[in-house]
Amino acid sequence: MADAPFVYLDWAATAPLSLEAARAMAPYLEVGMAGLVQGNGNANALHTAGRDAFKTLEAARRDIARTIDARPSEIILTSGATEADNAALIGIVEGVLAKRGVNIGYGSHAKGKTLEAAPSVIVSAIEHDAVLEAAEVLRRRGIEVLFVRPDKQGIVTPEALAHVLDAATNPLLVSIMALNNETGALADIAQLAELAHRSGALFHSDATQAFGKMPLSVKRTGVDALSLSSHKIGGPKGVGALFLKTRTPFDAQIVGGGQEANLRSGTQNIAGVVGFAAAAQASHEQLEAASAHMRALRDRLFAGLSELSGVEAFIDPRSPDYGPHIVTVLCPGFESETLILQLDRRGVCVSGGSACSSSDLEPSHVLSAMGIERDRALGMVRFSLGPTTTEKDIDHALRMLREIVK
């Protein structure tokens, strides 16, 4: 397969570095003093190089904030969406309880009252592990964790959240992702946030997959916190952001420097943040055209997959309830890893929803939450598209999958 073309259909895992991000970063990555003079100094230093770096950092922060209708002061720069998710769940819960004089862990509040009756955090059962494992940390500290299950189409409905909220005696925070990374299912985060607020809870959404693929406005949705990633939209890896609405209680999880208004310590990655801002601006400006392009190719891919024997197109992503860039299918009788490697040998990069754990193959927790049987779920394949995906890419992927499952 040495002559096989390279077709990349795993954009939901990471996007190639965009031209806009690369160009924006280039001056800050020059070797030696040249890069420092361009503004890649320590933004917390008082000298000229430090002040220039600070100006660069704040300009980038403003650009990122503008893409989601936020204030620059509401953007906390992080190492990525995983850190943003962890900070949102643990930091907000610790912050809320600290205001009530309660300490649950090793944040900046060392003393406090014992836990009040049954404080809880509510998350969907289809969240990324960055949210699920952060919720588990809270559970081990005495917080009740309640789960909202999706319907059979993978959608977390307002009715499902309302049911869980009714059972919660003291909900502190609700966290539901805007667009699921395995199925592409969308959540109505504006309506979900409103339900959370009515119950006295704050609302966080992991918008990693939605950012750059659909319009996002923290003002219109009313969310209290939102996680963003750079590398999913063509920015560099190792950079992300947490939108934290003004006056939202929050206990810093990384301390020892005071950066990011004492909310996230650590010297900021100037070049990375500049690249993130450039990618965010570009994806924001190109959003309408790029989304239409991806939807058209998504529909072409889905139609082709639906015609393949041995492939179960169990979700129709052409519905308005799904994002523009993800198509997920099941291939009964195959395991995801086998399909991924066979497609890779044929020059097609895709992803799967199962993973090896302790030598036991386990299905995606997302598909399990949707009620899909284990044997079917093990054959999941996710195709995810981007702005530069072509019809030729789609057609080649379909031909290669047909060879494997025939």
Sheet containing strand 326-330, strands side by side: 326-330, 380-384, 351-352
For residue 183, which of 150, 134, 215 has the smallest C-alpha distance? Answer: 150
Query: Active-site residue numbers?
Result: 356
Task: Please determine, looking at this structure, whether the domain spanning 48-284 carries the CATH number 3.40.50.720.
Answer: no
pLDDT, mean of residues 147-176: 97
195 backbone dihedrals φ, ψ, rounded to 5°: -65, -45
Residue type, 163: H
How large is the average pLDDT for residues 107-112? 45
Query: What's residue 114's pLDDT?
Result: 57
pLDDT of residue 359: 38
Mean pLDDT of 291-295: 98
Asked if pLDDT for residue 106 goes beyond 70, the answer is: no
Asked whether residue 294 carries a pLDDT value surpassing 90, the answer given is yes
Nearest to 295 by CA among 392, 163, 198, 386: 386
Main-chain phi, psi angles of 2, to 5 degrees: -60, -30
Domain residue extents for the chain: 48-284, 287-405
3-class SS letters over the chain? CCCCCCEECECCCCCCCCHHHHHHHHHHHCCCHHHHHHCCCCCCCCCHHHHHHHHHHHHHHHHHHHCCCCCHHHEEEECCHHHHHHHHHHHHHHHHHHHCCECCCCCCCCCCECCCCCEEEEEECCCCHHHHHHHHHHHHCCCEEEEECCCCCCCCCHHHHHHHHHHCCEEEEEECCCECCCCCEECCHHHHHHHHHHCCCEEEEECCCCECCECCCHHHHCCCEEEEECCCCCCCCCCEEEEECCCCCCCCCCCCCCHHHHCCCCCCCHHHHHHHHHHHHHHHHCHHHHHHHHHHHHHHHHHHHHCCCCCECCCCCCCCCECCCEEEEECCCCCHHHHHHHHHHCCEECEECCEEECCEEECCHHHHHCCCCHHHHCCEEEEECCCCCCHHHHHHHHHHHHHHHC
pLDDT class of 123 with cuts at 50, 70, 90 = very high
Q: How confident is the model at residue 287 (pLDDT cuts 50, 70, 90)?
A: very high
What is the per-residue pLDDT across 72-84, written as a single tens digit (0 to 9) for each? 999 999 999 999 9
Least trusted range by pLDDT, from 38-42, 129-133, 208-212, 240-244 = 38-42
Sign of the C-alpha dihedral computed for residues 51, 285, 128 and 227 taken in this order: positive
Cα–Cα distance between 251 and 106 in angstroms, integer? 10
Output the six-digit token pair for 38: 């361009």
Q: What is the pLDDT of residue 39?
A: 86
Read off the pLDDT of each residue in 46-71 and give the average, rounded to a whole number.
97
Report residue 406's pLDDT band, with 50, 70 and 90 as the boundaries.
Answer: confident
Contacts of residue 397, defined as CB under 8 A and 6 or more positions apart, other chains included, come to 7, 9, 301, 343, 348, 350, 383
Q: Which CATH class is domain 287-405?
A: alpha beta
Place of tokens 């060879």: 403
Q: Tell me, what's the pLDDT at 136? A: 98
What separation in angstroms does the CA of 309 have from each of 312, 391, 403?
8, 21, 11
Top pLDDT among 108 and 85 is at 85
Give the other-Cβ count within 10 Å of 247's Cβ. Answer: 7
Q: What is the mean pLDDT of residues 233-244?
A: 98
pTM tops 0.85: yes
